[in-house]
Amino acid sequence: MSFFTDLAHQYIDGEWRTGSGSWDIIDFNPYDGEKLAAITVATVDEVDQAYRAAERAQKPWAETNPYTRRLVFERALRITEEREDEIIEAIIDELGGTRLKAHYEVHLAKEFLREAIQLAVRPEGRILPSPVDGKENRVYRLPVGVIGVISPFNFPFLVTMKSVAPALALGNAVVIKPNQNTPVVGGGLIAKIFEDAELPAGLLNVLVTDIAEIGDALIAHPVPKVISFAGSDRVGRHVGAVAGSHFKRAILELSGNSALVVLDDADVDYAVDAAVFSRFVYQGQVCMAANRILVDRKVEQEFTEKFVARVKALKTGDPHDPDTQIGPVINSFQAEALTGLVDEAMAAGATALVHGRTRGNLVEPTVLAGLPEGSPILTQEIFGPVVLLVPFDGEDEAVRIANDSPYGLSGAVHTANVERGVRFAKRIETGMIHVNDSTIQDEPLVAFGGEKYSGIGRLNGHSTVEAFTTQKWISVQHGRTQFPF
């Protein structure tokens, strides 16, 4: 199978189709510029067709025995394992992800499929007491119905799967709109896995399109009850506003400006390892990536020397080469934006301890230090291989600097004293923070999400059940109620 030939289509009601729009989305390899596919965009009419197909298919699916539903996810996991090598190559080609990153993404996606197998039979109802004699209160947990999933380009296979698989397992139907930069890995590939896993037609649909063609139709359509969006806070703000105005639930996983904090008693060598991974995995195009490395002045010199040496040794180049650690950023717009950001920071007084070159979409790592307090770059998300080193004096100043951002997604703190690290972590305004580890973490059972501009809602584990189900109260009166009139 050629993924970029066979799967570069719309997938609606169990059929692979050509979109009926008047223009094409071109899917490029970000490393060498090769054209992978051209996909004619879906129109508003096709948005309606996809949602109506999902609506028709969902009710019978919700009534299917959950043990029968579970078999679909067992097959999907087996198919993913059988095609793992092909999926890894597709991630490298379409995203410019390094081989290490591609393996990491597929590994996590398989973990979420394993969790979906269990999730199919996990939802439980409750029977609650009543102050009224003879009354029985039953609270049922039911699927919401149809869910719209809008996925990002950076981890399209994983992030899409971690919404799609549990949503389906819980008895819902799904319509995916993958990012225009990754329409196959984030859309067609997932549809093909579930098609081959014998998921009934109509339950999963993929629309490759753009807001320029469909406007807000994907969000405002009357069928979906929940919109699961992962992407920038700028777009997420709009998604949340439109969803809210139509009384839809929005799960928003948005931008980050994570800080990795190195306290004065940290294992410096280990902290350097964690910081390099936290910033530079997938070229830093990760919402959880450590934009800022905060280092206590007592260990600043040692940490900086070792960190800079490690960064200088990172290899930038062809993501197919297993030795490559930094591949291309997703497109030329992003490469140019990163170059401009570094130039502006240096013009404002920052010093480049490492100043990487930009060659096409290959952006070599840059380490900036000496940033004046109040520099705009300190509080924004940097989606690329640029990192900021910021010294501090004592924990209170570290907390102040770490919290001086409109974002609060992830973080990390390094210290020899675990309980000190936990106390410090509790003071940071973020949805997730890790003691003596990297800022980049995602596990199927643990709530994933951010504070402030980093999003609303949580996914994973019980949080996913809350996100993709609703509760219905049914009371039963045994005997006769005495009404007051």
- Residues taking part in catalysis: 253, 287
**What is the C-alpha separation between 80 and 77, in angstroms, rounded?**
5
Token pair for 351 = 């010093």
Cα 234 to chain centroid distance, Å, stands at 15
**What is the C-alpha separation between 103 and 84, in angstroms, rounded?**
9
**What is the C-alpha separation between 269 and 309, in angstroms, rounded?**
12
**What is the C-alpha separation between 193 and 228, in angstroms, rounded?**
20
Structure letter (DSSP) for residue 185: I
Token pair for 188 = 């067609």
Contact (Cβ atoms closer than 8 angstroms) between residue 56 and residue 170: no
In sequence order, the 6+-apart residues with CB closer than 8 A to the CB of 106 are: 80, 84, 87, 88, 91, 157, 158
- The alpha-helical segments, DSSP class H, found in 313-366 are 332-347
**What is the C-alpha separation between 152 and 159, in angstroms, rounded?**
8
Instruction: Provide, for the chain, the percentages of residues in helix, strand and coil under a 3-state DSSP scheme, each rounded to the nearest 5.
Output: 40, 20, 35
Contact (Cβ atoms closer than 8 angstroms) between residue 177 and residue 150: yes
